[in-house]
């Protein structure tokens, strides 16, 4: 499949009378967008705000982050299964509003949500302090069940991103990136001397607001599956989960998965990229055995000699990670794991909840239990009091002056297990 990503560089955002892009500046008709987003009987209201890099602004609690896009050529549309019909994406051309994002916040959905600081020490831990953000604050009906609340918030974010992305339909991109990958047989013949590498992409699917969607399907209901890397890059996977903010893969992370991007860039040079297997993370032992067996089988079937495995979340999913590693290694497939650590605030505790001696190539993206002091911000979008109940926060985390003391677990993307962050730990 061949995918062209036409990037329109957004240099500023502001509200105005017409939604359009003028020489890199995204102008947003906020009144029109609010009417579109508020069209949900489960919501009381929707408010819009802007947060730009360097501003003294804190966004809390963050539910999701989404990159605005529009489909220009080829089959399918943006966020298939939610905004567009369920057609296979991953080919043709998609225009991307680079440098900006939609951030959803409001009443807390689940306790494992996060913080984005646009300046100060916290800004160094999240990539979204560097994006121009349209922040959508969402107020649900009182007493709305959590799953309906999560669905409503998820749809608001996707609708906002699709609305903004449509402003780029007729524009000439500033850059066009082309990503293409043939089938397994073609790749093997074309690059017979290069190591054949697959990517096992673990998705958070434990339920209880720990969900990820593939073409609109709750991924905890699927068996591990093959998917084209360009499908992932074109929005086939959407976040619906409320896992700890530090290692949650937001929709933006899925759209811009750096593991997939780097494997495509190195294809035909350092390695032969054989494709992507998506796998779910399960709760019961039987489901863990089924999924890890099936995922390893698919990686072996496509002829991979090496595999990269990325986790999402921690604790219970550590067992899925280790099962995947052990079964791949026992099949003779050299395996590298990407994970973060929960090693205690002093870093002296066991990093993962499970282990195997076969996990001898592990990339750590940092210890989520490390504590940080976040000074008060002049402007808060959302509800500052949630600092005491989100994962990484605790009673007494919020101080009288508005400053916060939390684990970096509370910062959105701080230890992202795709490596989409600045932190690194010692390899182990």
The residues that are catalytic are 242
Rounded to the nearest 5 percent, the helix, strand and coil shares of the chain are: 25, 35, 40
Q: Rounded to whole angstroms, how far apart are CA atoms 238 and 216?
A: 8
Backbone angles phi, psi at 327, to 5 degrees: -70, -35
Q: Is 378 exposed, middle or buried (0-12, 13-18, 19+ CB in 10 A)?
A: exposed
User: Which of 149, 228, 150, 170 has its CA nearest to residue 21?
Assistant: 170
Cβ proximity of 214 and 237 under 8 Å: yes
Q: Is 20 exposed, middle or buried (0-12, 13-18, 19+ CB in 10 A)?
A: middle
In 10 A of CB 9, how many CB atoms?
Answer: 14
Q: Is 362 left (phi over 0), alpha (psi -120 to 50) or beta?
A: beta
Q: Are strands 12-15 and 25-28 parallel, antiparallel or unpaired?
A: parallel
In 10 A of CB 398, how many CB atoms?
Answer: 20
Rounded alpha-carbon distances, angstroms, from residue 398 to 56, 249, 296, 374: 17, 26, 45, 10
* Residue at token pair 């890397």: 229
Cβ proximity of 371 and 119 under 8 Å: no
Q: Rounded to whole angstroms, how far apart are CA atoms 128 and 146?
A: 26
Cβ proximity of 295 and 260 under 8 Å: no
User: Which of 239, 57, 237, 34 has its CA nearest to residue 133?
Assistant: 57
First to last CA, the chain: 36
Q: Measure the CA angle with vertex 165, ends 154 and 6; round to 5°.
A: 125
Cβ proximity of 148 and 156 under 8 Å: no
What distance lies between CA 113 and its chain's CA centroid? 13
Cβ proximity of 137 and 38 under 8 Å: no
């Amino acid at each position: 499949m061949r995918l062209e990503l036409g990037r329109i560089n957004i240099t500023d955002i502001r509200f105005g009378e017409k939604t359009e892009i003028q020489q890199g500046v995204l102008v947003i008709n906020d009144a029109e967008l609010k009417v579109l987003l508020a069209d949900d009987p489960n919501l009381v209201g929707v408010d819009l705000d802007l947060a730009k890099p360097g501003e003294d602004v804190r966004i809390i609690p963050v539910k999701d982050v989404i990159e605005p896009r529009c489909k220009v050529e080829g089959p399918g549309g943006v966020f298939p299964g939610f905004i567009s019909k369920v057609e296979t994406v991953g080919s043709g051309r998609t225009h991307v509003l680079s440098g900006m994002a939609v951030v959803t916040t409001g009443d807390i959905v689940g306790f494992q949500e996060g913080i984005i600081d646009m300046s100060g020490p916290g800004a160094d831990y999240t990539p979204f302090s560097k994006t121009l953000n349209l922040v959508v604050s969402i107020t649900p009906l009182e007493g709305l069940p959590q799953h309906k609340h999560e669905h409503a918030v998820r749809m608001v974010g996707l609708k906002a991103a699709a609305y903004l992305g449509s402003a780029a339909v007729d524009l000439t991109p500033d850059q066009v990136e082309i990503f293409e990958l043939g089938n397994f047989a073609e790749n093997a013949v074309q690059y017979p001397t290069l190591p054949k590498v697959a990517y096992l992409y673990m998705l958070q699917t434990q339920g209880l607001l720990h969900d990820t969607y593939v073409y609109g399907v709750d991924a905890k209901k699927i068996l591990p599956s093959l998917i084209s890397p360009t499908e992932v890059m074109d929005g086939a996977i959407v976040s619906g989960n409320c896992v700890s903010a530090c290692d949650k893969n937001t929709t933006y992370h899925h759209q811009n998965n750096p593991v997939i991007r780097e494997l495509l860039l190195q294809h035909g040079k350092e390695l032969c990229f054989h494709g992507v297997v998506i796998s779910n993370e399960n709760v019961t032992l039987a489901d863990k055995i089924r999924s890890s067996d099936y995922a390893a089988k698919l990686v072996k079937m496509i002829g991979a000699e090496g595999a990269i495995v990325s986790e999402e979340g921690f604790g219970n999913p550590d067992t899925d990670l280790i099962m995947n590693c052990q079964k791949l290694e026992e099949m003779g497939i050299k395996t590298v794991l990407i994970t973060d650590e929960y090693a205690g605030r002093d870093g002296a505790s066991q990093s993962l909840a499970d282990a195997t001696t076969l996990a001898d190539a592990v990339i750590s993206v940092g210890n989520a239990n490390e504590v940080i002091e976040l000074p008060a911000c002049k402007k808060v979008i959302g509800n500052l009091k949630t600092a005491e109940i989100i994962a990484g926060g605790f009673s007494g985390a919020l101080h009288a002056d508005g400053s916060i003391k939390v684990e970096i677990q509370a910062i959105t993307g701080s230890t992202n297990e795709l490596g989409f962050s600045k932190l690194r730990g010692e390899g182990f």
